[in-house]
A and B are shown apart, each in its own frame.
Chain A
Amino acid sequence: MSKEDLEKRTVYSPDGEPIEIDPLNDYFLDRRPESYAPRNGVIEQFANWARAESLWVLGFGTGCGAIEMRPLMTPRFDAYRFGIQWRPTPRQSSVFVISGYLSVKTLKRVIRSYEQMQNPRFVVALGSCTINGGMYWDSYNTINRLDHYLPVDVYIAGCMPRPEALLAGFEELKKRIKAGKGDGANKYAENFDWYKANQKKIIKDWDMPDYNW
């Protein structure tokens, strides 16, 4: 990447529409996340079926559990046959797998990534560390309970859970979504102040706006 690529400039879309871009600017959202209302009966059921059968996982490994996702996505366990695939950006993902212990520094990046994901979004918490801190329960920089910072849909216990356990967890998540219970994003929006207060309690150098993405 050259220096010109990082400078502020105007580019034109194929239709001739001017677009101002500033690559070094962080674009933060300026309002709270909003909860979405489910649509009517069959339409929502159809949407939930579609959501459940195409789970797109954000490729973000937070702890040692990230190593379990490699065999899961490659031919041995091949999660793609269940409609699960990995995406490189939060804007395209619907599932966030918190894979193992979460340090405060990583939590900050996790929150920012989570808030960039579109509704409805789901969180799968992997390993004992996300449940009660696991073996890092008395550490000075790892969280104990993930559900105080993000709404969790499915926990997968174990240290580490094998890829089979992850597949079982994804199946459980699918059941929840199809039953209309995958409403973590709504929970996050409704209890936004509580989540933000918990997050800010431990992230002491909060240099993001209150509503970041």
Chain B
Amino acid sequence: MNQMTMEYTINQLKQLNGAQDHRYQREGLDFITLPKAYAVEAITRLRDHEGFAHLVLLTAVDWLEQGQFQLTYLLNNPVKKQDLGIRVLIPRETPVMDSIHLLWGQAATYQRELHEMFGIDFPGSPRVDQPFILEGWDEMPPYRRDFDTKKYAEETYFPRPGRSSNDPTEYMKHQLYPDE
């Protein structure tokens, strides 16, 4: 019964113009990619009419090679114990997405974090421009894949010279059985 209603929901979403890449992950967990233009509308409908009342998380992936950010809205139906991930691809050059803070208040925190870490803007989201974890960060947003974390750390944090690393397997073999 549960799976049937999930299928019904998925079929409805698939009929939307531009919906693509439906992925059945496992029982009670599906992903589908929706166009940016009406993703928020679809999420509103899922929340109000299909029982997906809980926002589990909102996160982003940087597809540098494709020039896109992928947002994932993971929704949960607490009655039927189902999860549905709505994926939205937005261009990397103009990373702007509609805010969902009016649907779930806590989404504002996720959006503030995404704004800081990926530089994705959510116009109208409360306090989205204020620093969240990083204070006074003036570089490129650090979770973008073209930000060179190692180079930044080496230039900024006084690396201690002489740092070396070992392959754990080889090292312990040498330590425990030096004759072999």
Contact = CB atoms under 8 A, between A and B. Distances in A.
A201 B157 CA distance: 9
Interface residues of A, number: 23
A140 B137 CA distance: 10
B158 A108 contact: no
Contact of B134 (A105, A143, A144, A201): A105
Interface stretch (B41-49, B50-58, B145-153): B145-153
Contacts of B135: 104-105, 108, 203-205
Interface in B117-153: 131, 133-138, 142, 147, 149-150, 152-153
B66 interface: no
A135 B134 CA distance: 20
Q: Is chain A's binding surface mostly helix, strand, loop or mixed?
A: loop
B149 A144 contact: no
A144 B147 contact: no
Nearest to A131: B160
Given A105-B133, A138-B150, A139-B149, A144 B159 contact: yes
Nearest to B147: A140
Contacts of B17: none
B160 A144 contact: yes
10 residue pairs, one from A and one from B, having the closest CB atoms: A205-B136, A204-B136, A132-B160, A144-B157, A138-B150, A140-B142, A138-B153, A140-B149, A205-B135, A148-B158
Interface of B: 131, 133-138, 142, 147, 149-150, 152-154, 156-160, 163
Interface of A: 104-105, 108, 131-133, 137-145, 148, 198, 201-206
